[in-house]
Each structure stands twice: as structure tokens, then as C-alpha cells.
Amino acid sequence: MSQPKISPSTAREDLRTEPQVIRIVIIAIAVTFLTVFVVLPLVVVFAQAFSKGIGAYFAALSDPEALSAIRLTLMVAAISVGLNLVFGVIAAWAIAKFDFRGKTLLISLIDLPFSVSPVISGLVFVLLFGAQGFLGPWLQANDVHILFAVPGIALATIFVTFPFVARALIPLMQEQGTQEEEAAISLGASGLQTFFRVTLPNIKWGVLYSVLLCNARAMGEFGAVSVVSGHIRGETNTMPLLVEILYNEYQFVAAFAIASLLAMLALITLVAKTILERHLDEGRLPGD
């Protein structure tokens, strides 16, 4: 007996002819899950933030402690995203476009922060810069403040977020290969001209995408920052840290007001990410 031939379209047709009931059940499960774990918490955050009215909400946000936390968070995010951007692009460039010894080791090192608990990452900096730490005595003698100050928070955030840019760019750059760079060089371009006119434009959407994710993580980081911050009110509390403190002090409106800002950041990131993902495909040359 001969096998019936199934063309791709009819095969897909067949897969879709699940009984209607099963389809509805599956979709219902997914929707319920999303509602309970994603939508509901978001709604609760905003409901709590506005539970005493709009006036109380804005009063909570314009509290000096809140303003200080927002400022600190923005500053730390700017520093760590900026540095990680430079580092990530250079690392991805080196890894994707050149062959050298220790390349695999470098790739694993870049991944390290993803596989280490943020609290441990923070502790490493305490061990390094703390009073009993490796560099502590020297730092104290020279009156340099890293731990329980902005530099420590920035360092911990940089550490936790540094894989984002390199990780996003390495596959993109590897896929694009070195052909266009070689073409540019043979047309007389210098190394810098090649980088800025050919390499960078080809990865710009990938760069934006990774900056976005890196920024979201930098602003939201809790664990590592909590260890190195020292929780000095009005000085070394970032937004996530302040949320926890206020919550523990039963200042629910204030806690959720700050949390609502972080939630909005997440929503904006989500929308921007969706838009960028569409552009990311433009980096690939179809039909080559």
C-alpha cells in the first residue's frame, strides 16, 4: 500500500483540527496564568499606589527620599549602561570578528554574571572593598569610599548587567560575518571608518535592543545593590531598595507609588522591545 502524500499545507491543517474544546481549554489556561501572574500584580501595584488618591501619590513621589532614590537610580543606570555599552560592543566585536586564544574563556566569563546569584555578586564586592576586605585598608587609608556609596552601587550594577550587550551582539555580528568589513577595507577605509560606517550601522538595532534590556535590569536590580548599598536614607537607596524599606514601614502608598514607576518602566521597555525586534530583522539580508 502506498503512503498517502501530505503536502505541508494539509499537514498544518491536520494539526489545527484539534477538537474545539481542547483549543479553548488550552487558551483559557494560558490566559488565566498570565492574568494571575502578570496582569493582576500590575493592577495591584497601581491600585495600591492610587488608593489614597492622586494627591497622596504625587506627594509620595516628591518626597525628598523618593527623589533622591530616583536620581540615584537614573545615575547608576546611566553609568552602568554607558560603560557596558562600550565594553559589550568591543567584546562582541573581538569575539565575532577575530580569532584569538582564550576566546572561549572570554565568552564564559561574559556569561558569569548570569549564572551567579546577584547577592553573591554583591558579596564579592564587599569582600573586595569592605573594611575587612582585600582592598579595604588601603581604601580607608586614602579616604576612598566605594562600599556604601555610589561607586559600589554602580560597580555591582555594572557587574550584574554586563552580559546584556555582548550577549545580544555576538550572535548578530557572527551571523553578519566579516565580509562587509573586508569590502570596506579594500575600498580604502581605515579601521575606525570601517567600524563607524559599516560595523556599527549594521548592529545599531541590536545595540538599542540590548541597551534597553540592560537599562531595565540596571534600574530594577535589587540583590547585588542591596548588599553593597548600606541603605543610607536619602543617599544610597535606589528605587527598588526604597520600595522595600517603605513597605516594611507600612507606608504602602509611598512604596507602591515608587513601585508603579518601576512597573511603568517595565511596560515601556516591553513596548520598545517589541518595536525593536521588528527592526532587528532588517539587519539580516534576505535572499542572499
DSSP code for 39: I
CB of 93 to another protein, least distance (A): 17
Under rule CB under 8 A, residue 236 binds another protein? no
The residue among 262, 264, 263, 232 whose CA lies nearest residue 245 is 232
Under rule CB under 8 A, residue 97 binds another protein? no
- Smaller CB separation from another protein, 64 or 287: 287
**Window contacting another protein (CB under 8 A); options: 85-93, 96-104, 191-199, 213-221:** 191-199
- Smaller CB separation from another protein, 194 or 215: 194
Under rule CB under 8 A, residue 285 binds another protein? yes
Cell numbers found for residue 252: 504602602
The residue among 205, 209, 215, 210 whose CA lies nearest residue 265 is 215
The residue among 135, 136, 141, 157 whose CA lies nearest residue 227 is 157
Q: Which of 61, 116, 189, 262 binds another protein (CB under 8 A)?
A: 189
CB within 8 A of 114, min separation 6: which ones?
163
DSSP code for 51: T
- Smaller CB separation from another protein, 10 or 190: 190
**Window contacting another protein (CB under 8 A); options: 5-13, 116-124, 240-248, 278-286:** 278-286
Q: Cα-Cα-Cα-Cα dihedral of 170, 164, 107, 90, to 10°?
A: 60
CB of 280 to another protein, least distance (A): 13
For 201, the 3-state DSSP assignment is: helix
Grid cell 530583522 — which residue? Answer: 281
CA dist 242 and 77 (Å) reads 16
Under rule CB under 8 A, residue 288 binds another protein? yes
**Window contacting another protein (CB under 8 A); options: 49-57, 194-202, 245-253, 254-262:** 194-202
Under rule CB under 8 A, residue 187 binds another protein? yes
Query: Binding pattern to another protein, positions 157-186, x when CB under 8 A?
Result: ----------------------xx-xxxxx
Q: Which of 44, 190, 233, 279 binds another protein (CB under 8 A)?
A: 190
CB of 165 to another protein, least distance (A): 20
Grid cell 481549554 — which residue? Answer: 25
Query: Binding pattern to another protein, positions 196-215, x when CB under 8 A?
Result: -xx--xx-------------
CA dist 168 and 85 (Å) reads 11
Q: How far apart are the first and last CA of the chain?
A: 42
CB of 96 to another protein, least distance (A): 16
DSSP per-residue letters across 230-274:
---TTTT--HHHHHHHHHHTT-HHHHHHHHHHHHHHHHHHHHHHH
How many residues sit close enough to another protein to count as binding (CB under 8 A)? 21
Residues contributing to the site for another protein (CB under 8 A): 179-180, 182-190, 193, 197-198, 201-202, 283, 285-288
